[in-house]
């Protein structure tokens, strides 16, 4: 009887240990899974830029407009400063234009400025990270002239945030020039053609709801950004190109 009781006690102890082990394993597994999800959310939602979100922040009774333009990575092509062309191509693809054209081929068609004035074409090279003598950009006038070779594109320079919303409401994604990371202070630099913002970036705005804009960012992926951050970063220049 004592031996049987001893075996039963050992069995119960082993069972408790097994259940405890399984419980710990499950907890560790859940922590791992949620950790992966959290990291992925950070990576996709603007590289953890405060005020950006991968999932749509649902506002009660808010009107949502989202065109769902594709994401085209400028980094995968090595075009570290090719955000203008990538954003324009994202908008074209949303419209069903140049669907079989990738960023590499599209960049080969981009006009370059002979005097490094971004108002006339791209200044510098989109494939070189640091060119302090050039603005490394192509501004709305030249970008829209290029875009019109393929589809109707409008230079929206000076447009308000409401103007941008109206374009998206009509099914037109908008290439927008912003200050990098939204919350940075613009760094101005003088060039032979005028003044430019060094820490600028270009993204495609393809959706909005009350308090937020949806962005397809060729450098960081697709995400929602708080309206006050986007509008502040955009209003420094109010440079935009609508793909109509």
Distance of CA 27 to the CA centre of its chain: 34
Instruction: Answer whether 70's CB lies under 8 Å from 90's CB.
Output: yes
Instruction: Answer whether 4's CB lies under 8 Å from 10's CB.
Output: no
Instruction: Answer whether 139's CB lies under 8 Å from 119's CB.
Output: yes
Instruction: Answer whether 70's CB lies under 8 Å from 94's CB.
Output: yes
CATH fold of the domain at 57-243: Cathepsin B; Chain A (3.90.70)
Q: Which residues, other chains included, contact 47 with Cβ-Cβ below 8 Å and sequence gap of 6+?
A: 220
**Span 196-234, pLDDT tens digits:** 999 999 999 999 999 999 999 999 999 999 999 999 999
**Span 160-198, pLDDT tens digits:** 999 999 999 999 999 999 999 998 999 999 999 999 999
Q: What pLDDT was estimated at residue 154?
A: 98
Q: What pLDDT was estimated at residue 26?
A: 52
pTM of the predicted structure, to 2 decimals = 0.80
Domain ranges of the chain: 1-44, 57-243
For residue 47, pLDDT over 60 is answered with no
């Amino acid at each position: 009887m004592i031996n049987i009781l001893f075996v039963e006690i050992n069995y119960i102890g082993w069972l408790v240990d097994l259940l405890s082990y399984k419980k710990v394993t499950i907890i560790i597994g859940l922590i791992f899974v949620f950790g992966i999800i959290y990291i992925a959310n950070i990576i996709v939602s603007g590289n953890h830029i405060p005020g950006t979100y991968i999932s749509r922040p649902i506002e009660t009774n808010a009107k949502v407009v989202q065109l769902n333009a594709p994401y085209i990575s400028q980094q995968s092509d090595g075009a570290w400063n090719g955000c203008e062309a990538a954003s324009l191509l994202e908008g074209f693809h949303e419209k069903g234009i140049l669907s079989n054209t990738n960023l590499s081929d599209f960049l080969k068609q981009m006009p370059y400025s002979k005097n490094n004035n971004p108002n006339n074409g791209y200044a510098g090279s989109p494939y070189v990270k640091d060119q302090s003598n050039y603005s490394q950009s192509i501004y709305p006038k030249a970008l829209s002239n290029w875009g019109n070779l393929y589809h109707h594109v409008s230079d929206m320079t000076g447009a308000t945030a409401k103007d941008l919303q109206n374009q998206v409401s009509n099914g037109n994604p908008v290439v927008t020039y912003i200050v990098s990371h939204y919350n940075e202070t613009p760094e101005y630099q003088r060039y032979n053609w005028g003044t430019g913002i060094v820490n600028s970036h270009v993204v495609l705005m393809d959706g909005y709801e009350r308090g937020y804009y949806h962005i397809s960012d060729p450098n960081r992926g697709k995400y929602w950004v708080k309206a006050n951050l986007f509008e502040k970063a955009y209003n420094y220049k109010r440079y935009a190109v609508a793909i109509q």
